[in-house]
A and B are shown apart, each in its own frame.
Chain A
Amino acid sequence: MSDMTAPRRSGVLVLAAVLGCVAFPPVAQGQDAGQLRRRIALLEATHREAMAAAARSESLRAEPHDSIRVGRLTVFARAIDDVVQQATAAAWRTLDSIYGDAASGLAEYPLTLTSQERINQVEFFRPLPGGQQRIIVDSTAEVRDITWQLVNAGALSIQAQADSALKNWLGGAPLAEQTGLLSPRARAYEEMVLAPWRSVRSCYLGDLTWCRVALGLAQDSDPVRHWFDAAERRDVVSDLINYDHVRRQRLATDRCLTLRSDEACVAILRSLPSTIPLPLPLPYATRLTLVRRAIDLGGRDAYSRVARGEGSIEERLASAAGVGADSLIAGWRRDILAAPPKTVTFTAAAGWSAVGWVTLLALLGLRSTRWR
């Protein structure tokens, strides 16, 4: 017991007191239902406190104590090595560049790096002290992996402070996207080219009104009718046919798909529960590219203006960017169309580079050590 920490000891004492009260209750005192409920409530509260104290002390024992702070980003880890230092600095730079002043809110949400190898199921669910958020990393993780994890967690923490309209419109996706094989704008380009919806096709061809519809910016209370035309609604119902909810409406689905009744299709799509979301004309990831453009144009305080929650999403984005909504959307469209993914084609530089390597390697072959 000598090495037991103070919080842990107090937790154990409280727990013992609770158990003592339960095991040896005061005798021969009548109690009515109200008193009993109060005592039960008291016992439950004491039990919760005891459990929280035990969890805190256990966390202090098992969780890392070393920490690093860059800007307003605080990271706890078992050991702060070069990799964690570099990752924290890079993550803060990224978050600060996107969220500007809003990134200062991160001070209240420290992040804790826990090694994948150290975590088990019990530890995974153990609460961390002081609002810390746990990030599980592999011991072989490189700077860019940890950076991405920190940026992702930090971005979600910041975005969680926005109003529900913005959060719903972004679908919970972080603005700081990981750069994978395709850049966000290249993915958006693919969506623009391949999306089967009239709204996206029209946006691709330059109609900004349809761009608003495709991006979910238009103030419509009836997306089923506004996002899709009759044929597209049939396609959507056809795609959703494997869901029980849709299959159970056999009469309506027959009328929609076989008799091509648009009213039946509309009725089915309007009846969808929240667990079966209506497909978006353009996915959330594409919406993020519009917000990023607004932030790029608007400067440091741009995200705060978007998140402030005054006006529609379109108005907020225009205000953040400091330009008119039409100008913002037209610029976004130009950006996307200028960023197609890298296809099998190659640049002259890449071609000459390959020729240069062939020549160099051939020369090495000619100078082989054989015969010497």
Chain B
Amino acid sequence: MFRQILYTQWKWSRLVVLLGVLAGFALPLLSVQHSAYTDPSNWEAREMLGQLQSWGVLYPALATALAVIVAMTAWAADHRGRHVYALSLPLPRWHYALLRFSAGAILLVAPILALWIGAVLASATLTVPPGLHAYPTALAGRFGLALLVAYATFFAISAGTARTAGYILGAVVVLIAVQLLAQAADVHLSLLSWLWDRLSIWPGPLEVFTGRWMIIDV
């Protein structure tokens, strides 16, 4: 049963997954393309860090984009077919959802591995200046965790009804509207800032997205 679900999800999302593999592999290599100094001076090391930092934002962005698309794709066919296929199976609902979740998660392992291989290759091609260190495995690990957190989030949203998704979206819109109204009324209210702190500071779910995504760092 799991193999069939994995196979169908692979068919639906293979283009995205392959693109993710390609991007994951290329991103670390591209980020160091201008940092290939044979004997980097400290000035060049500083320049290298600046360049790596500017590429850093692309790792969480790639993780989020991949997670959204794979999570949505996992449920797209069921939504279109009004869940008739799923209801016809001799499975409880949670079991079916678990199979879908696991299949998507397994497909996402490929981009994580590709990024790890790309990062290992990228750091092997560089002369790392003294005082700096290469973090290919940590980069891939953080990418993997961020990808899975984002995937689980969007999978949960996508698994719900359109009404649930609407509630979530509506709550976000209400928060933004309240914040804007408070600003217009000259009332000090920092809802969004408070919410962001709760989400992005440990043990918030988005903590894994924060920090410096650099393959070479101090």
Interface residues in chain A, defined as those with a beta carbon under 8 Å from any beta carbon in chain B: 81-83, 139-143, 189-190, 193-196, 204, 235, 340-346, 349-351, 353-362, 364-371
A359 to B98, CA, bound (A): 11
Inter-chain contact A369/B138, CB cutoff 8 Å: no
**In the complex, are the beta carbons of B160 and A350 less than 8 A apart?**
no
B41 at the interface (CB under 8 A from A): yes
Q: Give the size of the chain B interface in residues (CB under 8 angstroms).
A: 54
* B87 adjacent to chain A (CB < 8 Å): yes
Chain B 147-166: CB-based contact to A (< 8 A → 1; otherwise 0):
01101110110111101100
- Are B138 and A345 within 8 A (Cβ)? yes
User: Which of B93, B202, B215 is the one whose CB lies under 8 Å from A349?
Assistant: B202
Specify the chain A residue showing the minimal Cβ separation from B133: A343
Chain B nearest CB from A199 CB (Å) reads 12
B17 on interface, CB distance cutoff 8 Å? no
> Which residue of B46, B158, B215 has the most chain A CB atoms within 10 A of its CB atom?
B46
Tell me whether A344 and B135 are in contact in the complex, defined as CB-CB below 8 angstroms, given that A357-B149, A365-B156, A368-B156 are known contacts: yes
Contacts of A362 in B (CB 8 A): 98, 101, 152, 155-156
- On chain A, the residues within 8 Å of B132 by CB distance are 193
A353-B203, A365-B156 known; A370+B83 contact, CB < 8 A? yes
- Which chain B residues numbered 130 to 146 have a C-beta less than 8 Å away from chain A? 131-133, 135, 138-139, 141-142, 145-146
CB distance from B82 to the nearest CB of A (A): 10
Residues of B within 8 A of A354 (CB): 145-146, 148-149, 205, 207-208
Do B155 and A235 touch (CB < 8 A)? no
Q: Which of A139, A344, A359, A366 contacts B214 (CB 8 A)?
A: A344
Q: A341-B218, A358-B148 are in contact. Are A366 and B97 (CB under 8 A)?
A: yes
Kindly list chain A residues whose C-beta atoms are within 8 Å of the C-beta of B145: 346, 351, 354-355, 358
**Contact call A371/B193, Cβ cutoff below 8 A:** no
What's the nearest-Cβ distance from chain A to residue B205, in Å? 4
Q: Is there a chain A Cβ closer than 8 Å to B19's Cβ? A: no
Per-residue A-contact encoding for B176-218, CB less than 8 Å = 1, 0 else: 0000000100101010010000000011010110011111011
Q: List residues of chain B with CB within 8 A of the CB of A193.
A: 131-132, 218
Report the 4 A-B pairs with minimum CB-CB distance, sorted nearest first. Answer: A196-B42, A361-B152, A368-B159, A193-B131
B124 within 8 A of partner (CB): no
Q: How distant is B204 from chain A, measured CB to nearest CB, in Å? A: 8
Q: Are B141 and A235 touching (Cβ within 8 A)? A: no
A366 to B159, CA, bound (A): 8
For chain A, what secondary structure do more than half of its interface residues adopt (helix, strand, loop), or is it mixed? helix
| Residue B172 interfacial (CB < 8 Å) | no
For A343, what are the chain B residues with a Cβ–Cβ distance below 8 Å?
133, 135, 138, 211-212, 214, 217-218
Interface centre among B98, B155, B215, by most chain A C-beta atoms within 10 angstroms, is: B155
A350–B138 alpha-carbon span in the complex (Å): 12
User: Would you list 16 pairs from A and B whose C-beta atoms are within 8 A, ordered by A residue?
Assistant: A140-B183, A193-B132, A194-B49, A196-B43, A341-B217, A343-B212, A344-B135, A346-B141, A346-B145, A350-B208, A354-B208, A358-B145, A365-B101, A365-B152, A368-B159, A368-B164
- A194-B149 contact given A346-B141, A346-B142, A357-B205, CB 8 Å threshold: no
CA–CA, A364 to B101, complex, Å? 11
B93, A371: Cβ atoms closer than 8 Å: yes
Bound form: Cα–Cα A371–B94 in Å: 11
Question: For residue A146, which residue of chain B has the nearest CB?
Answer: B188
A369 engages B155 (CB within 8 Å): no
Minimum CB–CB distance for B7 against chain A, Å? 21
| Cβ of B160 to closest chain A Cβ, rounded Å | 5
In the complex, how many angstroms separate the beta carbon of B50 from the nearest chain A beta carbon? 10
Is B86 engaged at the interface, CB distance under 8 Å to the other chain? yes
Given contacts A358-B152, A362-B101, contact A81 B83 (CB under 8 A): no
**Cβ-closest chain B residue relative to A189:** B218
